[in-house]
Homo-oligomer: A and B are copies of this chain.
């Protein structure tokens, strides 16, 4: 499924890197929960770093109901970005140095989920995506906690992806230079779990304990 680009999502430069198909967009969203959301606060641009998750044709994020950022975003135009840095691209000239990356940009109007039942189901899905199997093992959420939590969503409609992969692209004459060129790959890794010192004796991490999505 692919939508025609809007004036905001059409890429004016480096067209070859631009993609508008949902498969590419969804794969990047699903690979990295960290996102940055630009919004207007008192008339000036602000950015909120938070975690996103995708359900079908929407991306979701959550936070405190008291959060100024989430209050300002509700009903407002936002721009949500997910960025995965995949490598530093070392060329023979400074100019052609680059990075390998997967990047998604979604523009649109954010809306708060009002219904408590739906809100709870979305939070459960968030856990299922990030920490599969953990939600059912937890002390259930109280009504008070649910009230204190806001969930917002944004349709994946006006969206684009941008991807760069592979070696540097140098000026033809520069390839003969005795300069090492190539890629320094970057990735995010999950280390050994660090148990809370207050865990009761004998409580072991479940085998399923892992972060399912990491780029």
A residues within 8 Å of B by Cβ?
8, 12-13, 34, 36-42, 44-47, 49, 51, 64, 66-68, 77-81, 83, 85, 87-88, 90, 92-95, 97, 99, 101, 103, 105, 107, 123, 127, 130-131, 134-135, 137-142, 145, 148-149, 167-168, 171, 174-200, 202-206, 209-211, 214
A180 and B204 within 8 A (CB): yes
Distance (Å) between the CB of A68 and the closest chain B CB? 6
Residues of B contacting A80 in the complex (Cβ-Cβ under 8 angstroms) = 47
Copies in the complex: 2
Closest 8 CB pairs of A and B: A38-B38, A185-B191, A36-B36, A38-B45, A38-B47, A95-B145, A49-B83, A181-B196
A-B contact pairs, 25 of them (CB 8 A): A8-B42, A8-B46, A13-B66, A40-B40, A47-B47, A47-B81, A87-B194, A92-B138, A94-B145, A95-B141, A95-B145, A137-B179, A139-B174, A167-B194, A168-B196, A177-B200, A178-B202, A180-B199, A180-B203, A180-B206, A185-B192, A185-B193, A186-B190, A187-B188, A188-B188
